[in-house]
Each structure stands twice: as C-alpha cells, then as structure tokens.
Amino acid sequence: MIPDVFRQLQRHLDNMPVPFPETKSGVEINLLKHLFDEEEASIALKLSALAESVDKIHSRFKAGEITKDLLASRLEGLFDKGAIMCIQNPKKGPMYSKIPLVIGIFEYQVDRITKELAEDFFKYEDDGFAEAFLRSKTKQMRTIPVNVRIDPEFAVGSYDNARAIIEKSPGPFAVMNCVCRQAKDKMEEPCKQTDIMQTCFTLGTAASFMMERGVAEKLTKDEIISRITLAEKEGMVLQPANTQEPTFICCCCGCCCGVLSAAKKFPEPAELLQTNFYAKIDPENCTACGECMEICQMDALISVNNHTEVLRSHCIGCGNCLNVCATEAISLLKTGKETIPPKDSREMYKKMIMERYGVLGTLKIMGKAALGKKI
C-alpha cells in the first residue's frame, strides 16, 4: 500500500510544465522515496513551483503542526539532497520551490547518485516518464551541430552554434560531471563512447549556482571551447538548453544520456527531439567504409546497396558523421522548418504550460500565482 503522501507528491510534481506521471509499476513512488521520507514529502506538498520564503511556506501548515525553525532546517536538508530548489533573495533570505524530475532533481544527483536511484530513474523512463516527457511539443533541450562545415546557403542561427553561444555569454563558465554516465556506471553499464566524465557545461547564472553548490569547476572561455572541441572529437552530441542564450550545453552519448537513449526506444526518435538539421549522404562519394555508422549516436545510418544512407526518422543533425567521413560524402542540411528557440527558460516553461494546460488552464495557474497561492 503506497502511503497517500507519496501519491499526493507525485501528483503535485506532475502539476508542472514537465510531467511526473503515475505508472502501472509505481516506480515513481520508489524514486520519490529515495529523496523524501514521509515528513519531507508532506513538506514538499506545501511548496509552489515559484520560489517562496520560509514564512510563506510555514503559513500553509496548521497551527502547531511544525515550528518555523524545524521547517527551515527540513527545507535546507531537502535542498542539500537536490530534491527541491533554493534561491537566495537579498531581502527575503532563502526561497524554496518544488522542481521537476528533469531538468532538476535528477541533475542535482550529480556526484552522489546511488545505484538504486539510477535504476529506478531509468525504469521510470521505460515505464511512462519518457513517453510523457519526450512527447511535449516544446523541449527543454535541443540538438545543435558540432563544429562542421555547413553550406553557406543555410543560415545558421547563433542559437545553433556552440561557439557563438559561448561568445555571447557573459560567463562565468564551468564544467560538471555527467550525471547520466555516473548513473550508468552505478548500474555497471559504463559509457561505450567516451571515458570523459566532465561533459556538462554551464554558463552564466547556472555556472555560478553549480560552482556555489561545489559540483562545478570554473573554466575560462578558451577552456570551455577546447573542452567542447574534445567532446566533439569523441563523437558527443551537443545538447544545449532550448533557449536562445542557453545556460548549459550538454555533450551527450546515445548510450547513457537519459534523453537520447530514451528517444532511441521509439520508432521515430528524431520526431521527439528538437533540431534544425539532418544529414544527407551523396552515394556517389560514399565508399561504404562504415566510419559514420560507428560514430552516430542515434543509429541513424544503414547500409543500402554498397553505400550508406541516413534514416531521417533517426537523424538529429548532430553533424558527428561529417567529421569522420574521409570522402566528404555527407552534408548537413536544414530540415526546412527552422525552429527558433524560446528567448529564455521563463518563456520556454510558459510555452510548456500553455501546451499542457491550454489557455484557460494557464490563466488559472497565472491567477493563482498572482494571488500568492501555491501552484
């Protein structure tokens, strides 16, 4: 029998731009139990998606239910565990909010993820989370090409160019370990693509936040560019946040990445991921050497009549195959439906809310937020 508080917490976390759906197996409850005990779950139920002070959160408890000091210490404990978010307000002090599973709780398990949590996370992906998460129209991440030649006839937006993103960012820059690979390591399924563990790059406010948490290492602008170049040489897929000035760039593999590996289990993974590009092979120049098939993280290349062809259903335009093709038989083309990412994460989450709840539902949520109610 699942204690009601965990089911309520699952529904409370599902009530966000990123879903946290119920599954038949109930694995999502196990996942929550790795992070919250019953008392902590009942505290998390009082949190809004918008950051609030301890006073405000305390006002939602019945008189005498919990002291303000105890609540403050429990909230800090939950933040330390990466189960909730805390931002420091210069006037109001620490402000806490609930956070989604991704990008949020899972990523905050970096450097401390356990085997049990890792196993339940990937089981949850299989049991229903990936379906709900990947089907959302507006994505949290997008794929951009690695540093390859793209025909000048195709304009490449600065949001689709890692080096332009870095140049535009005021910094600071930092790098963290890849929690997806750490999770797979715990499950004794080490990465098949790279030995590099530091492949999560953060920029600006995200870099400062992660450095303050002690999980990110500061990099100069030159260092972040050279580390990304190294990741590209390893065949990693560049996945920044789906915003015009992203605060992170992940360099991902198809075996460990929670997003790519989950998408690959669907018949048409490219449909589920955001990209403006795809690869095309000129059969005349293809010697069928197979190098591109080796590096492709999406299993998007197949052998057909003595040459290699791209499966559009799988190709996410990462550009890695271009880097290994000695005969320059591969080109990166535009999909023809250029998607300009949302301006920033606020706009991205607003779009996600609109898509999940419709206009009326969104107005209701905004109305509650304006009245200082929990959303």
Residue 26 Cβ vs ligand SF4, minimum distance, rounded to whole Å: 25
Compute the Cα dihedral for 223, 224, 226, 231 and give only its sign. Answer: positive
**Residue 105 DSSP label:** I
Q: Is 279 in the site for ligand SF4 (CB under 6 A)?
A: yes
The backbone region for 317, taken as left when phi is positive above 0, alpha when psi lies in -120 to 50, beta otherwise, is left
Contact pattern for ligand SF4 over residues 127 through 166, marking x by CB under 6 A = ----------------------------------------
* Residue closest to 141 by CA, chosen among 275, 234, 23: 275
| Helix (H), strand (E) counts: the chain | 15, 12
Q: Which residue(s) pair with 200 in the sheet?
A: 176, 250
180 binds ligand SF4 (CB under 6 A): yes
Nearest distance in Å: CB 110, ligand SF4? 8
The Cα–Cα gap between 349 and 66 comes to 33
Q: Please, what is the minimum distance in Å from the beta carbon of residue 355 to ligand SF4? A: 22
Q: Which of helix, strand or coil describes residue 22?
A: coil
198 binds ligand SF4 (CB under 6 A): no
Q: Which of 31, 200, 207, 272 binds ligand SF4 (CB under 6 A)?
A: 200
Helices 115-124 and 179-186 pack at an angle, to 10 degrees, of: 110
Q: At closest approach, how far in Å is the CB of 154 from ligand SF4?
A: 14
Q: Which is nearer to ligand SF4, 96 or 106 (CB)?
A: 106
User: Angle at the Cα of 126 (from 186 to 81), degrees rounded to 5?
Assistant: 50
How many residues in the shown chain lie near ligand SF4 by CB under 6 A?
40
Can residue 202 be called a binding residue for ligand SF4 (CB under 6 A)?
Answer: no
Candidate residues 325, 348, 353, 365; the one interacting with ligand SF4 per rule CB under 6 A: 325
Q: Is 52 helix (H, G, I), strand (E, B) or coil?
A: strand
Stretch 285-324: interaction string toward ligand SF4, x if CB under 6 A: -xxxxxxx---x-x-xx------x-x----xxxxxxx--x
What are the φ and ψ backbone dihedral angles of 279, each rounded to 5 degrees? -100, 150
Q: Which of 96, 46, 35, 50 is nearest to 353 (CA)?
A: 50
99 binds ligand SF4 (CB under 6 A): no
Residues 79 and 118 sit within 8 Å (Cβ to Cβ): no
Question: Residue 306 in 3-state DSSP?
Answer: coil
**Listed residue (71, 41, 42) closest to 56, CA to CA:** 71
Q: Which of residues 242-261 bind ligand SF4 (CB under 6 A)?
A: 250-252, 256-259
Where does residue 340 rank: exposed (0-12), middle (13-18), buried (19+ CB within 10 A)? exposed
Instruction: Please give the span between the terminal C-alpha atoms of the chain, in angstroms, as a whole number.
Output: 28
| DSSP type of residue 126 | I
Query: Smaller CB distance to ligand SF4: residue 310 or 375?
Result: 310
Binding mask 43-82 for ligand SF4 (x = CB under 6 A): ----------------------------------------
- CB 321 → ligand SF4: shortest distance, Å? 3
Q: Which is nearer to ligand SF4, 5 or 263 (CB)?
A: 263
**C-beta of 92: minimal distance to ligand SF4 in Å?**
32
Q: Whose Cβ is closer to ligand SF4: residue 92's or residue 213's?
A: 213
Sites of contact with ligand SF4 (CB under 6 A): 178-181, 199-200, 250-252, 256-259, 279, 281, 286-292, 296, 298, 300-301, 308, 310, 315-321, 324-325, 327, 329-330
